[in-house]
């Protein structure tokens, strides 16, 4: 048999299909193992070679685990709601459902060519009603729940109402809004339905509140941060402002502590956990109230450094702070309005990244809670409305931003600790030393001062100690079409009603236009009949859910994908538990991964799942970047700027004359360039070409550097493609795609095949008994591959295979038993080739997919001698081969007597003689 990869791979896939090899059952006596990839968003551009990197990686691991005796769940699906489909719909008028379906079909075709061991019967698609029915169901549970701190888990709203009816809310310990009013049972029962609804909103895990969105008046729509570039809309460059709208939120902050603590139980990268920890941002500090001068209200401030309170020389509040309008004195109204306008045009990132110090005095003063001195109140862009209370107490001597602000506005800089240094030039945030200029805490240290201050604040009702989280509640409303509709409607009094669970799903209606309505409402608002489906005067919620809704629980659905009654059955969930091995990009570190953990914990609280965490082990694959090719200057007459050349046309970063002619025909940039305008180089065979410059950029159509996996598979075969993707480097580092190297892997697979068949396709004689040398090669390879798979170092596995095959190819004879082990060893990496060799060449009955993975036998690897590298003063000078069991003293004698060693030691007595057994010898003179 010749190595015809097309034929071989097609045949292998047919065998797998015919025998349903990848069908996964939920009942097995084998231990379960769940290997999952982050499912893709099916974009119109199809897959490029960057996408399958993680999929191949996890596929190899899944196959390896299966060969190790596990019942492996390794599914795939599609995260199918999202902005790009909607933008495409706006441009073309095509229904996003249609384009999404087409894209999914393309993705599946592309994926199937690579030979993944997916059980497609378990495919999930988030935009299908059968799926989002359960997304809506989860939302209803969140809506009908509150976080009961007394039991430290979610509790039902009906329980809360019972408590309110009987005792009011004085004894309720809930994760809820800070400013909840206190009421008795009688008061509660006297409230109107609307009042009760508003109060319950402050407890629900899915709740509504006013918040700011990016409003673009010119486009008449709310924009995603992604759609804003330099403060203006990406489309059209129109100004964007902050607009207050009523929005749905999820109270993820209720779970902050559990999300933080849960990280300690997870087998994730420390860096990934750090990102989540920082995102959650737990800080222990205090709330302090600063009463306003000549005004009934007060400004609340959260600080982690209450000890610096006597260093406060001004207060800064966010320009959007509720109190700004009320406290600004008439002479500053104009300037404050002007400043607010400037801030509204900037994104939060821009505001925080801003190096220039800006701000505006409001004319108002607060009174220092302890000293009663007047403290001026400013607004400034570095304080964000959504963080903490949207107000900070500024201590210039201890905080650099405050310091710069104080310098600019000539405000006092008061040293507060005797250990503070250099504060003529910059702030010093130290906690060392004793307090000065600080009234009753003078002379105390940090710990004593903090405790005393919090005690005084609480005594005098000026504040209290508080744990604060940087994490905010998660915005859950999108004014978009292509997302899950909310199972919510409003009656004519504005009272919220939920759609009954047995009426789910609430189907996304068809609309005439996907274009923005201009009012800020989503396009759903134009589906009049749908909006009023619950009777005259009622209104369906027309916002839709965000992208992370469907992706926050999809991993559960694979366990029981067709269940119409519930998101996952108890049996299926209890068998599969949670994901053992999750592969995806680190760009999801704080988005998807945090939201999923939150939902999972909630589902555990309401008894839907039995595990506290969704993903036990997490591996991040690095991004594959593009490698663009550009013409060099002076290569083409009258063309000064480098031109991108399609990477698929070039070979070894060269463009031949022949390919140039294709380009001239197909690409209008080259229409007017004549062959003679090009400065051709000539190789030794007389072929003319130009050498191209390399530039690393994103893989993108516009750089002509996109490489399609289909092309790779058709040119080299899926097995070569799979192994080359792994060979590129460690899974977790970012790297550019370079097709040039793939021939090395292609050569390797052919060389491997030639262990079985000669150049004419005749089977080789493999009847000889294995030699010692052969067994050593085999077991060395088995040992290293097992180690490297466990360490997830698949690139070195491929190298190890290459070394093994190179060495075996040099042997005079190779035995069938050696080849059998080798085929099993390589099967996870090159499954098609392995399958055909396994069944047709080695005549096994069942698939190699279910063969047992080889383990090595140490007896073939024992060596009697070791070649010691000899260092003199840490520099490698020579090698000496010595028996492995030789004593140090004897080694020393032999080494010192060595000619080369003597040359370097010049017969001086060694100061030190270091022997690391089986590693190295170092002579220090």
Partner RNA sequence: GCCCGGGUGGUGGAAUGGUAGACACGCAGGACUUAAAAUCCUGUGACUUCACGGUUGUGCGGGUUCGAGUCCCGCCCCGGGUACCA
Restricting to residues 778-797, which ones interact with RNA according to CB under 7 A?
Answer: 793, 795-796
Q: How far is the CB of 589 from RNA (least distance, A)?
A: 6
- What residues numbered 452-481 form the site for RNA, per CB under 7 A? 470-472, 474-475, 477-480
Q: How far is the CB of 551 from RNA (least distance, A)?
A: 6
353 binds RNA (CB under 7 A): yes
Q: What is the C-alpha to C-alpha distance for residues 317 and 381, in angstroms, rounded to an integer?
A: 9
Angle, CA 28 vertex, CA 126 and CA 843 arms, to 5°:
100
Q: Could you say which of 60, 603, 707, 745 contacts RNA (CB under 7 A)?
A: 745
List of long-range contacts for 19-24, beta carbons under 8 Å, 24+ apart: 19/847, 21/117, 21/847, 21/849, 21/850, 22/117, 22/118, 22/119, 22/120, 23/119, 23/121, 24/71, 24/72, 24/73, 24/74, 24/75, 24/119, 24/122
Q: Which is nearer to RNA, 106 or 839 (CB)?
A: 106
- What residues numbered 580-619 form the site for RNA, per CB under 7 A? 585-591
Output the six-digit token pair for 137: 């169901």
Q: How far is the CB of 486 from RNA (least distance, A)?
A: 13
Q: Which is nearer to RNA, 189 or 278 (CB)?
A: 278
516 binds RNA (CB under 7 A): no
741 binds RNA (CB under 7 A): yes
Q: Which is nearer to RNA, 164 or 553 (CB)?
A: 553
Angle, CA 193 vertex, CA 190 and CA 199 arms, to 5°:
85
Per-residue binding string, RNA, 831-870, x by CB under 7 A, is: ------------------------------------x-x-
Q: How far apart are the first and last CA of the chain?
A: 63
913 binds RNA (CB under 7 A): no
Q: Could you say which of 373, 513, 762, 806 contacts RNA (CB under 7 A)?
A: 806
Q: What is the C-alpha to C-alpha distance for residues 579 and 567, in angstroms, rounded to an integer?
A: 16
What residues contact 139, with CB distance under 8 A and at least 6 apart? 206, 484, 486, 487, 545, 549
Q: How far is the CB of 499 from RNA (least distance, A)?
A: 22
- What residues numbered 618-647 form the site for RNA, per CB under 7 A? 623
- What residues numbered 30-49 form the site for RNA, per CB under 7 A? 40-41
Q: Which is nearer to RNA, 512 or 759 (CB)?
A: 759
Q: Could you say which of 733, 855, 865, 902 contacts RNA (CB under 7 A)?
A: 733
- What residues numbered 62-91 form the site for RNA, per CB under 7 A? 79, 81-84
751 binds RNA (CB under 7 A): yes
| Torsion angle defined by CA atoms of residues 602, 606, 609 and 611, in that order, rounded to the nearest 10 degrees | 60
Q: Which is nearer to RNA, 55 or 365 (CB)?
A: 55
Q: Which is nearer to RNA, 270 or 852 (CB)?
A: 270
| Extended beta strands in 726-873, E state | 735-736, 865-872
648 binds RNA (CB under 7 A): no
Give me the DSSP letters along 449-491. HHHHHHHHHHHTTSEEEEEEES--PEE--B--SSSPBPSEEE-
- Choose among 262, 396, 393, 377: nearest CA to 325: 377
Q: Could you say which of 773, 873, 880, 894 contacts RNA (CB under 7 A)?
A: 873
- What residues numbered 91-130 form the site for RNA, per CB under 7 A? none
225 binds RNA (CB under 7 A): yes
650 binds RNA (CB under 7 A): no
- What residues numbered 688-707 form the site for RNA, per CB under 7 A? 698
Q: Could you say which of 809, 857, 893, 908 contacts RNA (CB under 7 A)?
A: 809
Q: Contact 247/213 with Cβ under 8 angstroms?
A: yes
Residues in binding contact with RNA, number by CB under 7 A: 100
743 binds RNA (CB under 7 A): yes
Q: How far is the CB of 351 from RNA (least distance, A)?
A: 9
Q: What is the C-alpha to C-alpha distance for residues 779 and 821, in angstroms, rounded to an integer?
A: 9
Q: What is the C-alpha to C-alpha distance for residues 645 and 713, in angstroms, rounded to an integer?
A: 22
- What residues numbered 239-298 form the site for RNA, per CB under 7 A? 247, 270-272, 274-275, 278-279, 281
In the sheet that holds 298-303, the strands lie side by side as: 298-303, 282-291, 463-469
- What residues numbered 378-437 form the site for RNA, per CB under 7 A? none
Say if residue 767 is exposed, middle or buried (CB neighbours under 10 Å; 0-12, 13-18, 19+).
exposed
735 binds RNA (CB under 7 A): yes
User: Which of 702-721 are b and which e, b meaning 16 or more Cβ less than 10 Å from the residue's Cβ?
Assistant: ebbbbbebbebbeebbbbbb
771 binds RNA (CB under 7 A): no
| C-alpha 533: how far from chain center | 39
């Amino acid at each position: 048999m010749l190595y015809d990869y097309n034929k071989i791979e097609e045949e292998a896939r047919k065998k797998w299909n015919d025998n349903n090899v990848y069908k996964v059952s939920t009942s097995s006596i084998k231990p379960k193992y769940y290997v999952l990839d982050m499912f893709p968003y099916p974009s119109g551009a199809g897959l490029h070679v960057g996408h399958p990197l993680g999929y191949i990686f996890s596929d190899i691991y899944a196959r390896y685990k299966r060969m190790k005796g596990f019942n492996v769940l390794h599914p795939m699906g599609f995260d199918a709601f999202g902005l790009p489909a909607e933008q495409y719909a706006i441009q073309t008028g095509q229904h996003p459902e249609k384009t999404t379906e087409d894209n999914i079909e393309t993705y599946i075709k592309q994926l199937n060519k690579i030979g993944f061991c997916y059980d497609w019967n378990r495919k999930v698609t988030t935009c299908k009603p059968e799926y989002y029915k359960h997304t809506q169901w989860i939302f209803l549970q969140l809506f009908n729940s509150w976080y009961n701190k007394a039991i430290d888990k979610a509790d039902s709203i009906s329980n809360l109402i019972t408590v309110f009816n009987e005792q009011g809310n004085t004894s309720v310990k809930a994760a809820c809004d800070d400013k909840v009013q206190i009421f008795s049972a009688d008061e509660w029962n006297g409230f109107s339905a609307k009042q009760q609804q508003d109060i319950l909103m402050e407890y629900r895990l899915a709740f509504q509140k006013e918040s700011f969105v990016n409003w673009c008046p010119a486009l008449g729509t709310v924009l995603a941060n992604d759609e804003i570039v330099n403060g203006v809309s990406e489309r059209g460059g129109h100004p964007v402002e902050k607009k207050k709208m009523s929005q749905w939120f999820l109270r993820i902050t209720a779970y902050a502590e559990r999300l933080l603590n849960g990280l300690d139980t997870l087998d994730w990268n420390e860096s990934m956990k750090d990102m989540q920890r920082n995102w959650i941002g737990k800080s222990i500090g205090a709330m302090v109230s600063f009463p306003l001068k000549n005004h009934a209200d007060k400004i609340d401030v959260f600080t982690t450094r209450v000890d610096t309170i006597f260093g406060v020389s001004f207060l800064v509040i966010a320009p959007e702070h509720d109190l700004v309008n009320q406290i600004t004195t008439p002479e500053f109204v104009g300037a404050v309005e002007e400043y607010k306008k400037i801030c509204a045009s900037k994104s939060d990132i821009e505001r925080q990244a801003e190096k220039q110090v800006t701000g505006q005095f409001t004319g108002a003063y607060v009174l220092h809670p302890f000293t009663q001195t007047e403290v001026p109140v400013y607004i400034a862009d570095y304080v964000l409305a959504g963080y903490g209370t949207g107000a900070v107490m500024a201590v210039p001597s201890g905080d650099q931003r405050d310091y710069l602000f104080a310098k600019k506005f000539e405000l006092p800089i008061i040293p507060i600790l005797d250990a503070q240094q250099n504060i003529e030039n910059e702030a010093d945030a130290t906690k060392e030393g004793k307090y000065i200029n600080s009234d009753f805490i003078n002379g105390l240290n940090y710990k004593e001062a903090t405790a005393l201050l919090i005690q005084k604040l609480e005594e005098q009702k000026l504040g209290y100690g508080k744990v604060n989280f940087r994490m905010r509640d998660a915005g859950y409303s999108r004014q978009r079409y292509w997302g899950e509709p909310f199972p919510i409607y409003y009656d004519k009094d504005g009272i919220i009603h939920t759609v009954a669970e047995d009426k789910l799903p609430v189907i996304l209606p068809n609309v005439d236009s996907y274009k923005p309505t201009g009012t800020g409402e989503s396009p759903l608002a134009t589906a009049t009949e749908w909006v009023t489906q619950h009777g005259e005067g009622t209104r369906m919620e027309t916002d839709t859910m965000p992208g992370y809704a469907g992706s926050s629980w999809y991993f559960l659905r694979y366990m029981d994908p067709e269940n119409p009654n519930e998101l996952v059955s108890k049996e299926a969930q209890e068998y599969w538990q949670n994901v053992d091995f999750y592969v995806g990009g680190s760009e999801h570190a704080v988005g998807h991964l945090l939201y999923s953990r939150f939902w999972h914990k909630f589902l555990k609280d309401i008894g839907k799942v039995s595990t506290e965490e969704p993903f036990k082990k997490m591996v991040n694959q690095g991004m594959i970047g593009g490698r663009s090719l550009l013409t060099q200057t002076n290569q083409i007459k009258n063309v000064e700027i480098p031109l991108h050349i399609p990477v698929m046309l070039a070979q070894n970063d060269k463009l031949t004359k022949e390919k140039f002619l294709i380009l001239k025909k197909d690409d209008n940039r080259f229409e007017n360039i004549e062959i003679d305008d090009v400065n051709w180089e000539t190789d030794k065979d007389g072929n003319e070409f130009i050498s191209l410059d390399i530039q690393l950029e994103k893989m993108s159509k516009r750089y002509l550097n996109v490489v399609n996996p289909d092309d790779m598979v058709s040119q080299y075969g899926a097995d070569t493609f799979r192994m080359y993707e792994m060979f590129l480097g460690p899974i977790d580092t970012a790297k550019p795609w370079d097709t040039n190297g793939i021939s090395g892997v292609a050569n390797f697979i052919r060389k491997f095949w030639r262990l079985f068949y000669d150049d004419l396709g005749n089977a080789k004689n493999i009847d000889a008994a294995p030699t010692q040398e052969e067994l050593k090669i085999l077991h060395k390879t088995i040992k290293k591959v097992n180690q490297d798979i466990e360490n997830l170092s698949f690139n070195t596995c491929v190298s190890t295979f290459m070394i093994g095959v190179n060495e075996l190819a040099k042997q005079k004879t190779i035995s069938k038993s050696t080849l059998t082990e080798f085929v099993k060893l390589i099967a996870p990496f090159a499954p098609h080739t392995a399958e055909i060799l396994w069944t047709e060449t080695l005549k096994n009955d069942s698939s190699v997919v279910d063969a047992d993975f080889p383990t090595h036998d140490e007896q073939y690897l024992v060596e009697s001698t070791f070649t010691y590298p000899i260092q003199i003063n840490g520099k490698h000078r020579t090698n000496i081969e010595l028996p492995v069991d030789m004593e140090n003293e004897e080694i020393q004698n032999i080494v010192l007597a060595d000619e080369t060693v003597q040359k370097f030691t010049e017969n001086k007595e060694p100061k030190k003689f270091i022997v690391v057994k089986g590693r190295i010898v170092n002579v220090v003179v």
